[in-house]
Every structure is written in C-alpha cells, then in structure tokens.
C-alpha cells in the first residue's frame, strides 16, 4: 500500500476557515475540569483547577456582547475581576487541558487557538477585521503563548488590549511569565511598557509539577532501520513516509498555521534519516510540527537519530530552550505510542492513552 508523502501536500487555509477552526484540537475534545487529575504532591495544580473553574464561571454568568461599540461605551456588563487568566508552568503539567476545559465550560461565542494560529489570523484578516470578528466573543483562549519577535510583541499586546477593552476575556498558557516574554530572544527591554501593560490584564496562576508524560517511563524508543521504516509505512493504512531533510525543506514553504491541515487524515508519521536540526529556523518549524502531531495524537516512527536528539546542545542552552524541551517531550510520547501499536498489532491512530497537557 503506497504511503502518503507530506511533501506532496500544500494545504491552503482561508480566513473564514481559520475563524471556524478556532476550537480545541481533537486530542482535547473530551477534556473537562472533572477529567483533570491534580498531582497530590503539587498543591498548585488543585489551586489552578479551582482558579480556572472560577474564571469560567464568571464568564458564563456575564451576558454575551452583541457589539464592540456597545461594550466600549459601557452599554453591557463585563465580568468582574481581571479579564485575563494566565497559566504559567513547565510543559507536561496539564495547562492545555485546563485551557481547553475553560473553553468547553464557557458558552459561545468563543475561540481557541495557538499563538501562531492567532497571529496568522491577524495576517489573513487584517488587524481591524480580526478585532471586529472577535470583539463579540465571550472568550479567547490562547495556547503556547510566546513573543518571539518585536512585531509579534506589538501585534499581540495591542490585540489583547483592544479585545479586553471590548469585554472579551482572555485565557492563555505559557512556559514564561508575561512580564518575561521574549526574554533571551530579542531586545525585550525595548518593549517593557507594552509587555507590562499586557501583563496587568492577567491574573497569573502557577501550575507546578513534573512532565506527566515521562514519570517513571523510558526514554525515546531506538530508531528503526530504513528498510523497516519503509515496510511499516507500506503496511499501515493512512501512514505517511517522508525523508526528514525533504520534510524540513517543505515545512519552510508553509506557514505553521497550515501544519495541522498538512497531517489531516494521517494515521502515523514515518520519517527517514532524522538528524539534529540545522538551524533555529528549521528547529522552530519542527516545534510547531510536533505540536500539531501531538494535538492530533498522530504516532511517529523514525530512522536515523532518536527524536530526543533532534535539537543540539547549543539550542537547548538558548532562548528557545523551553520550546525545544516541550517538543522533545511530545515527540517521545508519540514515539512510544507507535512502539505500543507495533507490539500490540492493532490499527494505528487510536485515541491517545495519555492525559492531554
């Protein structure tokens, strides 16, 4: 059976499709507050769960805003308290689970997207049109919040200011406190006023703990041979098979917001000749690609270098360290799922056995 080649795909995502798709990815369809299991050894997780319930409850009791102008002129009541909730903590402690649970608990209209998807929406619609479309929403949930360059800093801080002034509540997750966003990546000090102004709109909730995906579990599975990789890809319905370098080059031709559609319908990904990323631009695209695979619970099998060695030691010491470690964590998890599938001889792409995070 011929395998799918991701390098043959060039998905397009229109502006209306972007807006309609602003909901939690499939992995998080069934998450709710009741399905979040706080670690008894980490009191902050139970406290974060309570804060998220309270935040969602406040939004749910406020009337939906029918117009941006009426909200700005004080014609409609806004929820009490700060308009933003910011979940800060290391990867693998369930922040995205909590963010999706907030989204599920709040009545429509509402939107959920990654930071990259949000910036692409502004690029597709324009700033004013994005504000117009989202200003009537009760909630905007932003996952993987990060400011990697000055342009994004100015864009997102202004967008959040406009939307929260219009009465939209914003919930976000990140590995970095809001007043330290951009640190180690660009001259964040030049934008401190904008960053601090945005931070003041959020209640900051810390979520401590260890990465649940690897508690007491082994490291990444060993890569398979090229011959075995091809045999597996040929035998699995809906599988993809690509040369790693060719895929990296192909990802460079697509905006990261299109990566989700790139793997749509793929049951399991096979990558030949995996090796450490050759530069920060390639590495950051691989982070976004890994996030979209994880969102959709798509297992991964590789030949060449283990996924745990995808980023160089120099990269892991740099300003994007947290992003790279999150990607490694998720790819190891997806690689172990593929190993379990092979051992059990079952159909690929099952529901993930792991708690979303």
Domain boundaries, given as residue ranges, for the chain: 31-210, 213-344
CA geometry: angle at 105 spanning 101 and 106, to 5°?
A: 120
How confident is residue 190, by pLDDT bands cut at 50, 70 and 90?
very low
The secondary structure of the chain in percent helix, strand, coil, rounded to multiples of 5, reads 50, 15, 40
336: burial class by Cβ within 10 Å (0-12, 13-18, 19+)?
buried
Instruction: Write down the CATH superfamily of domain 31-210.
Output: P-loop containing nucleotide triphosphate hydrolases (3.40.50.300)
Mean per-residue pLDDT of the chain: 82
Q: Are 46 and 38 in contact (CB under 8 A)?
A: yes
Report the distance separating Cα 296 and Cα 316, nearest Å. Answer: 26
Task: Determine the pLDDT at residue 62.
Answer: 67
How confident is residue 188, by pLDDT bands cut at 50, 70 and 90?
very low
pLDDT tens sequence across 24-51:
988 899 999 999 999 999 999 999 999 9
Task: Determine the pLDDT at residue 65.
Answer: 53
Position 184 pLDDT exceeds 50: no
Task: Determine the pLDDT at residue 73.
Answer: 41
Task: Determine the pLDDT at residue 169.
Answer: 96
Share of the chain above pLDDT 70, in %: 79
pLDDT tens sequence across 64-116:
554 433 444 444 445 567 899 989 887 778 899 999 999 999 999 999 998 87
Task: Determine the pLDDT at residue 292.
Answer: 92
Mean pLDDT of 48-59: 96
Of the candidates 302, 327, 310, the residue with the CA atom closest to the CA atom of residue 241: 302
Report the distance separating Cα 211 and Cα 92, nearest Å. Answer: 4
CA distance from start to end of the chain? 34
Q: Which residue in this structure is represented by tokens 């695209």?
A: 285
Position 306 pLDDT exceeds 90: yes
How confident is residue 217, by pLDDT bands cut at 50, 70 and 90?
very low
User: Would residue 243 be called left, alpha or beta, if left means φ above 0 and alpha means ψ between -120 and 50 degrees?
Assistant: beta
Of the candidates 46, 106, 96, the residue with the CA atom closest to the CA atom of residue 352: 96
Position 180 pLDDT exceeds 70: no
Task: Determine the pLDDT at residue 26.
Answer: 86
Q: What is this structure's pTM?
A: 0.75
Report the distance separating Cα 234 and Cα 66, nearest Å. Answer: 53
Asked which of 16-20, 43-47, 264-268, 306-310 is least confident by mean pLDDT, the reply is 16-20
The size of the chain, in residues, is 357
Of the candidates 56, 301, 21, the residue with the CA atom closest to the CA atom of residue 169: 56
Comparing 67 with 322, the larger pLDDT belongs to 322
Distances (CA, A) of 227 to 233, 243, 248, 273: 10, 13, 21, 11
Task: Domain 213-344: give its CATH architecture.
Answer: 2-Layer Sandwich (3.30)
261: burial class by Cβ within 10 Å (0-12, 13-18, 19+)?
middle
Distances (CA, A) of 54 to 40, 61, 125, 240: 20, 11, 33, 43
Of the candidates 113, 165, 106, 161, the residue with the CA atom closest to the CA atom of residue 138: 106
């Amino acid at each position: 059976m011929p395998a799918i080649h991701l390098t043959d795909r060039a998905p397009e995502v229109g502006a209306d499709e972007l807006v309609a798709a602003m909901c939690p990815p499939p992995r998080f369809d069934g998450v709710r507050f009741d399905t979040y299991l706080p670690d008894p050894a980490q009191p902050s997780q139970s406290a974060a769960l309570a804060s998220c319930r309270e935040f969602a409850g406040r939004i749910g009791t406020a009337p939906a805003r029918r117009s941006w102008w009426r909200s700005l002129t004080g014609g409609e009541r806004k929820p009490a308290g700060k308009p933003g909730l910011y979940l800060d903590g290391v990867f693998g402690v369930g922040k995205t689970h909590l963010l999706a649970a907030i989204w599920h608990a709040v009545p429509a209209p509402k939107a959920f997207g990654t930071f990259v998807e949000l910036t692409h929406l502004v690029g597709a619609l324009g700033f004013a049109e994005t504000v117009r479309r989202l200003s009537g929403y009760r909630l905007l949930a932003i996952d993987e919040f990060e400011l990697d360059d000055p342009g994004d800093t100015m864009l997102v801080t202004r967008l959040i200011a406009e939307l929260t002034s219009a009465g939209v509540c914003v919930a976000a997750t990140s590995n970095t406190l809001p007043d330290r966003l951009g640190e180690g990546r660009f001259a964040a000090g030049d934008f401190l006023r904008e960053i601090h102004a945005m931070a003041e709109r959020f209640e900051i909730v810390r979520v401590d703990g260890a990465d649940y995906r690897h508690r007491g579990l082994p490291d990444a599975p060993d890569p398979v041979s090229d011959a075995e990789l091809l045999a597996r890809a040929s035998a699995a319905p809906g599988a993809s098979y690509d040369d790693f370098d060719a895929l990296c080059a192909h990802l460079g031709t697509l905006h990261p917001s299109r990566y989700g559609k790139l793997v749509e319908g793929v049951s399991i990904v096979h990558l030949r000749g995996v090796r450490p990323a050759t530069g920060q631009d390639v590495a950051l695209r691989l982070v976004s690609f890994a996030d979209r695979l994880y969102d959709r619970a798509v297992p991964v099998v590789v030949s060449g270098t283990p996924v745990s060695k995808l980023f160089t030691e120099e990269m892991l010491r740099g300003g994007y360290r947290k992003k790279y470690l999150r990607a490694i964590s998720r790819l190891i998890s997806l690689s172990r799922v593929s190993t379990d599938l092979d051992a059990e001889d079952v159909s690929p792409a099952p529901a993930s056995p792991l708690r979303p995070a």
